[in-house]
Each structure stands twice: as structure tokens, then as C-alpha cells.
């Protein structure tokens, strides 16, 4: 009698902190609810699930009936719950104290809400660094999920990866389950018969001292949210047919990871390199390197040796996103600074809200970019900055900071100057532009400097390709990884890289960037002088309550045109809630170009912000505004995303002094 293969099927459900309510509702209607409803009808089909903490809280609040199905399946031992960090952080890039806090917070939540404390954990984006082992073990986690690719990078072969292995760090022992890439690409995209036949073929593997496992753990969003999957999985019945055929098979047994872990022995010791899933290897590299890596991979596939040697074609690691995107690195280092401040705060001065905001600032999605990463999505970065700004205000109330100080926050070799008065904070980059890289309004809990510069991306070479729909030849549907599509019309101008930071008060003389140097004696007054000795310009930046004031002194009368560029991150971007107010009228929204002559005051009003910004100038200006877009990729195709509204103010300088003021008001 042939043995059975243990199908360890797990799904990971996640939505980013700060995602739009309609997106959450749609995800629930087209994925989470039907998935749970179908599985509920088959109590003998055992599976594992991880709902990220923020999403779980949302579903418990808004869809308690559907969450009761999950509760019942846990109670009848159909479901094993997996742990993680509560807000889905990449554990490897947050301090150890926060790893432990995040894991414990989520494990306690599962124990309280569902009566089950997890033994296994989902690693965000399957990012592995051995440094996370002690934190996981100290929180009671006995095993985690990683990719089979992680194991192939150690020299293991795919035929060996049908059980779990053991690793250790600082004498902390942790077991590792390798997720099958073959199953990730088959479930749920291949026809049911083909998928079940593949599972049954695994039952015939002979293992010394153990039974084989078919290990699957992947995004539940593939079951209803990815293109075409709702029709395929539910309307055409893929999921129900798959469950029925698995339960009817004499060669397949559905089990929990915990059951398999308790009954089978480890396959041995293993030490994994720092790595994530294989697609991330390309996404995290700079564009030129990513294109070179992709070309080598395609050559390997064309020459039929990729599958056998792909472990030796390793690209970048997840942390490369910090060196690749200055905006990601800045957010990360700001978060680390606040984590350190909170850790130093005496216990009696802390409150739960501080910890909550820190954890929200550690949510992974806004820190990276690939097919799914959300660095390009302003509302996800805004959620991180909202938490950062709110936490900073809470910390300042307990442990005030100086009104002025300098440090190299992002470790790029260039100092930043911090100006703050408890109402506003302006952070100046002390480079040649002498511009503002972060501008926080504490009452509005918003960073108006949260923009994203355009840089060349590795997927831009695909943009000239014709839109196409890809499907496989076996009657299934295509994975999002294999599609090329367009959500917007995109041209060469849209993908041109920026030649300057998208900051506030980037100055030009006759269209040429002005290079400044700090005046050391007046640095605390944020006084800068242009290096052009023929036309010296002094730039002075101060805060006054809720007003940011930038004054320019021209020591010689200029016959040249002077301009300053202000990139403002407005929450509504090109939505219906953001508009300009000028002389009692609405000349347009943030997503529309605008040109005004003789402008001395304009208001930027934003419903999402719950406030407005008033821009005034001491001398009439020519104002040109336009939306700042970047081109991103997603599972739905290439798209243009508005990052900020760009205001370009121009003057023919005829006076010795010019003042530009931004005032921030909450409704």
C-alpha cells in the first residue's frame, strides 16, 4: 500500500496599514469571505492561515459574521493559526526589542480572539536573516515558513525539500519548512486535475525515516483578487473541486504544520543565507543591475539550465531597498530614531498609543517596491508618516527636544538640520540645494515633504511592449508575474528620471539650479548663501507658530529670472477632495495644471487632510502648478501615480528681498 503525502496548505492574508476602505471591502467580498465559506463546508480539509494583525482587527470589526466562521474552524481543529509581527513588519529590519514586542502582541491577539496561540510564524515577504531566530524562539515560535529557494542556495536539492529542517542562532533552535515554488505556481493557476496529479506523484517519494510533505504557504489574494482569479477560483469552482479531489485521493492527507512537526523528525541542520523569495532578487536591485540579472535568467531559461542552477543566480537582498530608494531609507531611519527614543523613555511616561504608533510605522509595505510593494503608493507612505509624526509629538510631550539640532539621520554622509517648535517641523538637507526634505504639521499629523522622485526602474524596458494577455497552454490562467498590461497611457517623458530631489524650495536662476553653502556662523538661523559670487543670494528659513517662512535676500539687482520649486504632498492628490482656492474661486484640482500671473496668495484645500495650506509671497509671482507623477507596476499593469503637486513660482527680481510663506491650518 502506497504512503500518503501530507499536504500542508497555508494561506497568508494581508492588507497594508492605511489601505483604502473600498479596497478592503472588495478584497473581503472577492477573496476572504468566499474562501472561508468554501472551506467551512469541508471540515475534514485541514489548512493553516495567517491574517496580519491590522487586517484581522479590521475584519473582526466590520465582518464579525465571517470571522465567526474562522473562529468555528479553529475550534473544530480544522484551522491552524500562524503568528507574525502584528503590523507585518520585516522582522530583520527592526530592533530586537520591537521584534519581540510585535510577535508577542500578535500571538496574544490570536490567543484572546480565537483561543489558539501560534507555534508557527509567517515571515513577511519571506525575508530571512538568521538574526531573527532568537526573537522568534523567545516568543514561543517553534517553526517558520521560508521558500525552497532559500534551501537551494545552501546546496540542497529540490528532492530533499519535502520535510522540515533545523537551524540555530545563539543556541536558539528553530525549525524551517521550505515552501514549494512548483506548488506556488500551480495553486490556484493550473487545472485541478493537473495540480492533484502532481500532489499524488509526491506520495511515491521514499524518505529515510519519514513521510513526505507537500508544503504550500502563499498569498490568499491569489484566490480571488489577482486578475481573473475570482471567476476561476469561485465562479468556475476551482477551489471547491480542488478540495473535493484532494479529500477523495488515497494518496493525499491534509494536515496542519503543527501535526506534521509533532509526528515527524527534522531532516537535519541547515544554515540559510540572507535571502527572500526569488522574484525579490530582481526587484531589489538598481535598474541596470536588475536588467542584467533578468537577462541572465532569461538566457538560462532559454538554454534549459535555469531550474537546475537558479540558486547560483542570486540578485540583491531585501535591505537593498534602503540603498536604492532614498525615500525608503529616510522613513526607515526616522522610524529607528523614534524607536530608540521610546526605548529610553521611563516606563511611567509611556502609554500604549506610543507603542501602537511605532508598530504602525514599521509596517513593511511602504518601504519597498516590486510587483506589489507600496513605496510608490502615497497613501501607504502617508500611513507610515502619520504614525511617525504622531509618535514624535507624543514623545516630545514627555521628553522635549531642542528647537534646533543637526545629525546625519539617513547615513548618507550629509547632515540634516532639524527646526521644530511643537507645531511644525522642517528638516533641511544641508547639501547644495539647501531644500526641505521633510515638513511636518503636528496638528494635521502629516508630512508635506512625503514625495517620491522619479528614477529609472528595471521594468521600464517592458513599457514599449504591446499590451498582451498571457495564459498557459494547459487550460489554466496566468500568474500576475507573467502579465504585461497598461492601466494608463505612458510615454517617454513619464519615465524620465529626475535631476533633482523633489523637495520644498529647490531654487533656480534662469532655469539653472542654485548651489548653496551654509554660513557656519549663522547655521542655527538656517542661513545659506549661493556660491555664485556675481549674483549672491542669501536664503533664510524660519518657523513661526504654524508658519514656515523662507526669505531670499538679493545683494545685487538681478536682471535674471529667479524661481523656487515647492513639491507638496497633499493627501487627496488627483482625487475629488483636493483643490486650489484663488480669489474666491476654484481654478482647478491638484491633478490639473494651473497658471496664474500676479499671484500673491493661494490656498490648497484638502478634505482628506482635514485642513489647508496657505501660500503667500511678498511680491507678485507667476505660479505654474502641475501634478508630479511616477510610473509604477502592479499586478494590474503599469500605471501613473500622482505623488505630489508641484508649485513653481517665478519672479523677475527687482527688489532686494523676497519672502515666501506657507501657513498650515487644521479645520
Query: Which one of 66, 80, 98, 125 is the catalytic residue?
Result: 125
Peptide bond into 569 cis (omega under 30): no
- Is 219 assigned a catalytic role? yes
Contact status, residue 626 vs residue 476, Cβ threshold 8 Å: no
Backbone dihedral region for residue 518 (phi beyond 0: left; psi -120 to 50: alpha; all else: beta): beta
**125 is known as an active-site residue:** yes
512 forms beta bridges with 509
- H-type alpha helices, 79-147: 96-114, 133-138
Q: Which helix (H) or strand (E) holds 564?
A: strand 561-568
Q: Which residues pair with 122 in a beta bridge?
A: 145
The count of other CB atoms within 10 Å of the CB of residue 582 is: 16
84 to 20, 166, 311, 363, 628: CA distances (angstroms): 23, 19, 27, 12, 36
Catalytic residue among 57, 72, 160, 219: 219
User: Whole-angstrom Cα distance, residue 590 to residue 601?
Assistant: 16
Radius of gyration of the chain (CA): 27
| Measured distance CA(490)–CA(465) in Å, rounded | 11
Distance of CA 14 to the CA centre of its chain: 12
Pairing of strands 5-13, 47-51: parallel
Cα(424)–Cα(588) distance, integer angstroms: 27
Q: How far apart are CA 552 and CA 532, in angstroms?
A: 14
Separation of alpha carbons 26 and 510, rounded Å? 50
Residues forming the active site: 125, 219
Amino acid at each position: 500500500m502506497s504512503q500518503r503525502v501530507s499536504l500542508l496548505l497555508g494561506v497568508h492574508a494581508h492588507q497594508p496599514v492605511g489601505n483604502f476602505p473600498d479596497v478592503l471591502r472588495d478584497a473581503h467580498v472577492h477573496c476572504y469571505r468566499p474562501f472561508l465559506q468554501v472551506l467551512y463546508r469541508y471540515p475534514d480539509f485541514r489548512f493553516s492561515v495567517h491574517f496580519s494583525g491590522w487586517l484581522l482587527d479590521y475584519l473582526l470589526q466590520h465582518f464579525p459574521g465571517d470571522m465567526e466562521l474562522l473562529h468555528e474552524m479553529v475550534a473544530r481543529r480544522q484551522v491552524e493559526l500562524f503568528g507574525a509581527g502584528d503590523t507585518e513588519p520585516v522582522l530583520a529590519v527592526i530592533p530586537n526589542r520591537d521584534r519581540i514586542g510585535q510577535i508577542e502582541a500578535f500571538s496574544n491577539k490570536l490567543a484572546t480572539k480565537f483561543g489558539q496561540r501560534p507555534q508557527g510564524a509567517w515571515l513577511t515577504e519571506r525575508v530571512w536573516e538568521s538574526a531573527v531566530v532568537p526573537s522568534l524562539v523567545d516568543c514561543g515560535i517553534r517553526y517558520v515558513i521560508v521558500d525552497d529557494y532559500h534551501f537551494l542556495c545552501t546546496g540542497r536539492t529540490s528532492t530533499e525539500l519535502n520535510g522540515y529542517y533545523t537551524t540555530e542562532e545563539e543556541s536558539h533552535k528553530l525549525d524551517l519548512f521550505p515552501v514549494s515554488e512548483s506548488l506556488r505556481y500551480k495553486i490556484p493557476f493550473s487545472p485541478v486535475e493537473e495540480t492533484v496529479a502532481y500532489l499524488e506523484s509526491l506520495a511515491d517519494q521514499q524518505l529515510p525515516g519519514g513521510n513526505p510533505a507537500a508544503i504550500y504557504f502563499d498569498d490568499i489574494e491569489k484566490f480571488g483578487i489577482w486578475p481573473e482569479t475570482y471567476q476561476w477560483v469561485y465562479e468556475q469552482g476551482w477551489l471547491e473541486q480542488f478540495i473535493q479531489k484532494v479529500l477523495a485521493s488515497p494518496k493525499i492527507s491534509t494536515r496542519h504544520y503543527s501535526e506534521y512537526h509533532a509526528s515527524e523528525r527534522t531532516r537535519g541542520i541547515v544554515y540559510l543565507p540572507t535571502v527572500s523569495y526569488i522574484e525579490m532578487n530582481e526587484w531589489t536591485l538598481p535598474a541596470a543591475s536588475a536588467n542584467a540579472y533578468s537577462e541572465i535568467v532569461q538566457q538560462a531559461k532559454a538554454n534549459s539550465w535555469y531550474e537546475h542552477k537558479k540558486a547560483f543566480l542570486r540578485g540583491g537582498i531585501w535591505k537593498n531597498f534602503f540603498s536604492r530608494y532614498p525615500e525608503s531609507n529616510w522613513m526607515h531611519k526616522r522610524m529607528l530614531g523614534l524607536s530608540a527614543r521610546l526605548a529610553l523613555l521611563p516606563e511611567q511616561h509611556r502609554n500604549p498609543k506610543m507603542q501602537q504608533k511605532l508598530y504602525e510605522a514599521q509596517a513593511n509595505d511602504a518601504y519597498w517596491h516590486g510587483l506589489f510593494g507600496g513605496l510608490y503608493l502615497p497613501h501607504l507612505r502617508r500611513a507610515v508618516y502619520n504614525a511617525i509624526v504622531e509618535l514624535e509629538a507624543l514623545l516630545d510631550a514627555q521628553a522635549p527636544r531642542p528647537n534646533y539640532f543637526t545629525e546625519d539621520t539617513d547615513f548618507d554622509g550629509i547632515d540634516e538640520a532639524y527646526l521644530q517648535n511643537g507645531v511644525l517641523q522642517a528638516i533641511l538637507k544641508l547639501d547644495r540645494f539647501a531644500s526641505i526634505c521633510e515638513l511636518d504639521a503636528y496638528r494635521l499629523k502629516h508630512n508635506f515633504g512625503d514625495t517620491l522622485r522619479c528614477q529609472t526602474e528595471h521594468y521600464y524596458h517592458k513599457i514599449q511592449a504591446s499590451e498582451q494577455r498571457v495564459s498557459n497552454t494547459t487550460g489554466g490562467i496566468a500568474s500576475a508575474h507573467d502579465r504585461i498590461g497598461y492601466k494608463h497611457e505612458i510615454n517617454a517623458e513619464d519615465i524620465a528620471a529626475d535631476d533633482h530631489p523633489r523637495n520644498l524650495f529647490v531654487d533656480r536662476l534662469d532655469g539653472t539650479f542654485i548651489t548653496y553653502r551654509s554660513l557656519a556662523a549663522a547655521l542655527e538661523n538656517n542661513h545659506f548663501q549661493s556660491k555664485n559670487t556675481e549674483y549672491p543670494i542669501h536664503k533664510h528659513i524660519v518657523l513661526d507658530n504654524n508658519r514656515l517662512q523662507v526669505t531670499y535676500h538679493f545683494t545685487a539687482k538681478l536682471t535674471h529670472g529667479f524661481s523656487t520649486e515647492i513639491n507638496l504632498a497633499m493627501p487627496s492628490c488627483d482625487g475629488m477632495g483636493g483643490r486650489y482656492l484663488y480669489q474666491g474661486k476654484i481654478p482647478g484640482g491638484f491633478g490639473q495644471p494651473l497658471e496664474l500671473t500676479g499671484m500673491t496668495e493661494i490656498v490648497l484645500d484638502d478634505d482628506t487632510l482635514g485642513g489647508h495650506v496657505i501660500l503667500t509671497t511678498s511680491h507678485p509671482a507667476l505660479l505654474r502648478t502641475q501634478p508630479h507623477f511616477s510610473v509604477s507596476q502592479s499586478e494590474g499593469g503599469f500605471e501613473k501615480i500622482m505623488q505630489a503637486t508641484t508649485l513653481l513660482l517665478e519672479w523677475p527680481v527687482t527688489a532686494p528681498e523676497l519672502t515666501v510663506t506657507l501657513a498650515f491650518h487644521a479645520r
